[in-house]
Amino acid sequence: MAIKNQTPDALPDLADREIIKTPELFEIDELRKKHRIRRAVFAGVCAAMGWAPGRRISEEAFLSSVRQFESAPMSGSPVKKKEAR
């Protein structure tokens, strides 16, 4: 098996690499307070998503889950699409 040259000249420059940012994670209760989500809505989102206290999630995913929960029908049935006439 060949041994690759590990000299500093052979290693790729860090400036040339594309840096991938991971989203910052927050505790769900912090996000509830920051975005002023009512406790009842917060409890419903947590129950629907299966989140436990202390869960850490990105702000974007949290807000998406809240919007999805708030727009769902109260009966829990799937949303019916209106037929075009």
**pLDDT tens-place string over residues 46-58:** 999 999 999 999 9
**pLDDT confidence bin for 75, thresholds 50/70/90:** confident
- CA atoms of 9 and 49, how far apart (whole Å): 50
What lies within 8 Å, CB to CB, of 31 at 6+ separation is: 37, 57, 59, 62, 63
Whether residue 11 is predicted with pLDDT greater than 80 in this model: the reply is: no
Model pLDDT, residue 84: 63
Q: What is the rounded average pLDDT for all residues in the chain?
A: 83
**pLDDT confidence bin for 39, thresholds 50/70/90:** very high
Q: For the chain, what are the domain ranges? A: 23-71
